[in-house]
Structure 1
């Protein structure tokens, strides 16, 4: 939900005070926005396909978007965008307007509270599923390595290691052997079940490729579904600084 601010001014003891009043207006359901570096268009709203948690899918709102760049070549690989249930975005915006909070912690809280979240990946140039798969697997392995370190924000115990190993193999099997052309969509939808497990649903152009489900896990436990999605919001590995900046701007200032 977009917020347009109407400002009133008043003078007190020679100073000018600013009193913002927010007016909330819904974005048109069919509107698209353009990611400036790639010139690729993304919808403001998406309806995911059916998942194990949401049989009728989920209606999610764009929060921010940005390119993934191969640094040493300066080549844009794909556009990534974060989509979240609009009610959760609206509830979080007042706290973000008051200051710069921890983005990864915010998205983690949404997921742990049962809010559906998704990262949409759209290749800027033609590639194949094996490249996308290998990149995602490297990302989840990097995040798992961090989770094993003392003092990490996440925990990965012996039981978690067993589930992690199985889930990595499950993730590998979801990718078909085919090409992915520019503008096609790969959605990583993450949801929490009533039993406390986390489910990653991989969807290609709206068609479900499969699921990866963790064991029931306590708060801050490392899992493949949450670890993969949250990697886009963190700095290790640094997937896309433009994406993080855009999401923060969406929460603090105004949604795309």
Structure 2
């Protein structure tokens, strides 16, 4: 009876570890030793079996304890138009430490007269920056521009359907070209500055591959904080471009007038109405 119980237990351990052929072979070998050798060999078999079982359990624990998604545990906000969730706080992995970004507002981007929903977008900023002194008496538009020009920001873009990087790129380039025309009309850009922008524009355009971007896969676009170097616009996992004008104007484009996403502009305005020092 005891021998039968031992044999069934050894078989159960072998099935539990079938993901590793080496482990399975080891158990069968030990089972053979168990049946043919004295008590010392039997004791060694049970120690080995228990060690393998413990290792298997530990491996499962490690997988379950893998790093959690960015912002998890901090709460989320849903875009009411798409039901896409955005974390209220955002941490982006980077070799260079980045601040924790706070969600300022979110909304859907639509195109054409049919109102096709292209993506949801969340606007994040380093609102905890101690040097960020937003004037409380400023208008919401002035507060938005002040934040963009004076601290690090992130636009998190989440497609509502499968799309491609090249499709998003074309929309980004159109927005930058519109900003370029506005700058020229407002006479805020010299001919020399306009010429200097062309190279960063070409580099930015070349960063996007002609590959699909899956539905609900986030694309983060980071505007670095002002420093002694030109500001960078970093498209996560794709590359970066250095240009004060391009980096800043890319983000400002989302808030010109009603904005590229009016719902985004509306929620950001509402958040900033009472915000400031």
Of 210, 215, 233, which aligns to 2:239?
A: 210
1:225 counterpart residue number: 247
Equivalent pair of 2:148/2:251 in contact (CA under 8 Å): no
Q: 1:253 to 1:39 in 2, by over 3 A?
A: farther
Do residues 141 (structure 1) and 163 (structure 2) align? no
- C-alpha deviation, 1:92, in angstroms: 6.1
1:77-100 CA-to-partner distances (Å, cap 9, x unmatched) read 1111110113259966781xx67x
Question: 2:90: which partner in 1?
Answer: 46
8 A Cα contact 2:82 2:160, kept in partner: yes
Any idea what SS the aligned residue of 1:86 has?
A: coil
Q: TM-score, normalised by structure 2?
A: 0.67
Q: Unmatched 5+ residue regions in structure 1?
A: 1-26, 218-222
Change (3 A) 1:165 1:76: same
- Summarize deviations over 1:24-48 as a string: whole Å, max 9, x none: xxx9853111110101111111112
Answering whether residue 140 of structure 2 is matched by residue 107 of structure 1, we say no
Greater gyration radius? 2
Select which of 166, 176, 182 maps to 2:199.
166
- 1:84-163, aligned counterparts within 5 Å? 84-88=125-129, 95=136, 101-103=139-141, 105-113=142-150, 115-149=151-185, 152=186, 155-163=188-196
- Structure 1 equivalent of residue 77 of structure 2: 33
Aligned to 1:235: 257
Structure 2 residue ranges without an equivalent (≥5): 1-70
CA contact (8 A) 1:65 1:82 kept: yes
Deviation of the 1:251 alpha carbon? 1.7
Show the counterpart of 1:187: 220
User: For the residues of structure 1 that align with 2:176 and 2:93, how far apart are their CA atoms?
Assistant: 24
Equivalent pairs, count: 205
> Which secondary structure state, in structure 2, belongs to the residue aligned with residue 148 of structure 1?
helix
Counterpart CA distance in 2 for 1:250 and 1:72 is 29
User: 2:97 is matched with which residue?
Assistant: 56
Does 2:270 align with 1:252? Answer: no
Question: Larger RCO: Structure 1 or Structure 2 (Cα < 8 Å, ≥ 6 residues apart)?
Answer: 1
Instruction: Give the alignment's Cα RMSD to 1 decimal.
Output: 2.6
Aligned mates of 2:231, 2:81 — CA distance in 1:
33
Higher helix share: 2
Cα distance, 1:184 vs structure 2 = 0.9
Q: Which has the higher strand share?
A: 1
Task: Give the structure 2 partner of residue 5 of structure 1.
Answer: none
Evaluate the alpha carbon distance shift between residue 91 and residue 226 of structure 1 in structure 2; reply closer, same or farther with a 3 A threshold: closer
Q: Is the 8 A contact 1:29 1:44 kept in 2?
A: no
1:196 Cα shift?
A: 4.7
Q: Name the TM-score, length of structure 1 as normaliser.
A: 0.72
2:102·2:124 contact (CA, 8 Å) conserved in 1? Answer: yes
